[in-house]
């Protein structure tokens, strides 16, 4: 029984470590923002302003559990109960998705391992059963040190916020994760800037570009705009710019290239990208991120209000 319990603890540790890492795939900022926050936390009812803080705390907690489950300080009084509570909360939300007929990726393992709400719910239930089994077969250390656990989680959380800073509308300059993909003559980390990812033949992209032009005409402080086009319809770029009503700064990026040393459009946006993408930066701080034509689509009215 002792060996089985030890194996179960190793299994839970690996599961939470994988879950935390998967939420940062394919790039940390993309994974935590688009997949976890916009795909899971915001639909649960958390505000867009609070979700970035909660996402980092939750992923930090998953890293913490991966290590805490292997030790004995307050494992029965604190570690296992808090883990079961977290899984229960997400299981309730997954159950609602199941009853609503939602079959899209729930984001539990990000884009690394896509899972439907049903699959994720089954995974959570099995994990809770394993945690209950561990609970029955372990003991708290006689002289458990709460500060040891608290400081461990605090350190992990600080690292999460340090490596993945939350964008704020401030004068403090940040270096955006998109910096390496943009032409050097367009500095997205200096002042207010707008970065767009468009396909030249995409009607939604054309409408978004035209909308940006219309807002710029009535706003004295409208930021400079730079467009990254995929090369899939490169020949249509002149018509695209004519339709938009402005000769925007742009560059063309190869849509896909298996060479890891070559940046590609698909790699930058993530392999489940949705055009059009419009990102607003203030001194490198990401203030708005719109993509696709769904719940997070570019909102001209919201964007206009930022500069009125």
Digits of tens for pLDDT over the chain (308 positions)?
889 999 999 999 999 999 999 998 877 877 887 778 877 887 788 877 788 899 999 999 999 999 999 999 999 999 999 999 999 999 999 999 899 888 888 888 887 888 999 999 999 999 999 999 999 999 999 888 999 999 999 999 999 988 887 765 455 556 677 777 887 788 888 888 999 999 999 999 999 999 999 999 888 888 999 999 988 889 999 999 999 999 999 998 888 776 665 667 777 776 566 788 898 888 887 788 888 877 778 888 888 887 76
Contacts 24+ apart (CB under 8 A), 287-291: 287/167, 287/169, 289/33, 289/34, 291/34
Q: Kindly provide the b/e burial profile for residues 27-53, where b requires at least 16 CB atoms within 10 angstroms of the residue's own CB.
A: bbbbbbbbbbbbbbbbbeebeeeebbe
The pLDDT score that the predictor gives to residue 189 is 83
Whole-angstrom distance, CA of residue 270 vs CA of residue 273: 5
DSSP-derived secondary structure letter, 102: -
Whole-angstrom distance, CA of residue 80 vs CA of residue 68: 9
The pLDDT score that the predictor gives to residue 52 is 86
Whole-angstrom distance, CA of residue 167 vs CA of residue 112: 25
The pLDDT score that the predictor gives to residue 225 is 93
Q: Which two tokens stand for residue 225?
A: 């705009």
pTM, rounded to two decimals: 0.64
The pLDDT score that the predictor gives to residue 118 is 94
Q: Top-level CATH class of 179-307?
A: alpha beta
Contacts of 49 (CB under 8 A, 6+ apart): none
The pLDDT score that the predictor gives to residue 304 is 84
Q: Which two tokens stand for residue 185?
A: 């003559």
On the CB side of 30, how many CA atoms lie within 13 Å of its CA?
Answer: 19
The pLDDT score that the predictor gives to residue 164 is 82
- Could you state, in order of their start, the residue ranges of all structural domains in the chain? 2-163, 179-307
**Bond into 284 cis (ω within 30):** no
Give the number of other Cβ atoms within 10 Å of residue 1's Cβ: 8
The pLDDT score that the predictor gives to residue 85 is 95
């Amino acid at each position: 029984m002792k060996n089985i319990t030890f194996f179960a603890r190793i299994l839970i540790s690996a599961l939470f470590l994988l879950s935390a890492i998967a939420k940062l795939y394919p790039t940390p900022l993309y994974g935590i923002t688009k997949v976890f926050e916009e795909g899971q936390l915001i639909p649960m009812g958390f505000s867009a302003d609070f979700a970035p803080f909660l996402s980092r705390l939750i992923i930090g907690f998953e890293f913490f559990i991966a290590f805490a489950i292997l030790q004995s300080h307050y494992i029965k009084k604190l570690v296992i109960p808090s883990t079961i509570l977290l899984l229960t909360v997400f299981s309730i939300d997954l159950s609602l998705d199941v009853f609503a007929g939602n079959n899209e990726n729930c984001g539990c393992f990000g884009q690394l391992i896509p899972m439907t709400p049903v699959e994720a719910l089954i995974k959570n239930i099995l994990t809770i059963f394993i945690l209950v089994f561990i609970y029955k077969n372990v003991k708290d250390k006689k002289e458990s040190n709460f500060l040891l656990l608290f400081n461990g989680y605090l350190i992990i959380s600080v690292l999460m916020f340090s490596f993945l800073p939350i964008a704020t509308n401030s004068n403090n300059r940040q270096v955006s994760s998109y910096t390496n993909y943009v032409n050097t003559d367009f500095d997205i980390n200096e002042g207010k800037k707008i970065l767009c990812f468009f396909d030249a033949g995409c009607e939604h992209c054309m409408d978004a570009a035209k909308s940006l032009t219309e807002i710029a005409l009535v706003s004295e402080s409208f930021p400079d705009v730079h467009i990254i086009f995929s090369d899939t319809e490169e020949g249509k770029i002149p018509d695209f710019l004519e339709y938009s009503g402005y000769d925007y700064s742009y560059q063309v990026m190869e849509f896909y290239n298996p060479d890891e040393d070559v940046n590609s459009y698909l790699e930058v946006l993530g392999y489940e990208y949705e055009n059009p993408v419009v990102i607003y930066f203030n001194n490198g701080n990401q203030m708005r991120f719109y993509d696709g034509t769904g719940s997070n689509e570019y909102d001209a009215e919201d964007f206009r209000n930022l500069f009125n």
